[in-house]
Amino acid sequence: AQSVTQLGSHVSVSEGALVLLRCNYSSSVPPYLFWYVQYPNQGLQLLLKYTTGATLVKGINGFEAEFKKSETSFHLTKPSAHMSDAAEYFCAVSDNTDDYKLSFGAGTTVTVRA
């Protein structure tokens, strides 16, 4: 069974500063990893995903994440925060089977200070 731990339920950054959201996973098989973003009163939107191949994955809105197998991590970063990045972010993992079920982390709320 797979699981995800997101370190920090709340992150506050200044506009223009680096955004770093931490995600560690556990999986008995090579995982598929995802980051989703949820804006207030909306559904989750896929930011990026890692399946195989290049370990640095680029997503929408300037976000990227790096898969580090040795650290069982998939941290999300953005070099320069924008006010519109204020949202809740979820890391998710799916094991390497064909049922595509996702296990979500508890989420990290990002606030951006002007």
Partner 1 sequence: DARVTQTPRHKVTEMGQEVTMRCQPILGHNTVFWYRQTMMQGLELLAYFRNRAPLDDSGMPKDRFSAEMPDATLATLKIQPSEPRDSAVYFCASGEGLAQYFGPGTRLTVL
Residues binding partner 1 (CB under 8 A): 32, 34, 36, 41-46, 49, 51, 90, 94, 99-102, 104-107
Nearer to partner 1, 51 or 111 (CB): 51
- Return the closest-CA partner of residue 32 out of 53, 7, 49: 49
Shortest Cβ 85–partner 1 spacing (Å): 19
Rounded to whole angstroms, how far apart are CA atoms 102 and 105? 10
Pairing of strands 108-113, 10-14: parallel
Shortest Cβ 62–partner 1 spacing (Å): 19
Nearer to partner 1, 72 or 109 (CB): 109
Cα–Cα distances in angstroms (integers) from residue 29 to residues 14, 75, 104, in the given order = 38, 19, 17
Nearer to partner 1, 54 or 100 (CB): 100
Shortest Cβ 114–partner 1 spacing (Å): 27
Shortest Cβ 20–partner 1 spacing (Å): 21
Longest dimension (CA), the chain: 44
Nearer to partner 1, 44 or 112 (CB): 44
CB 102 within 8 A of CB 52: no
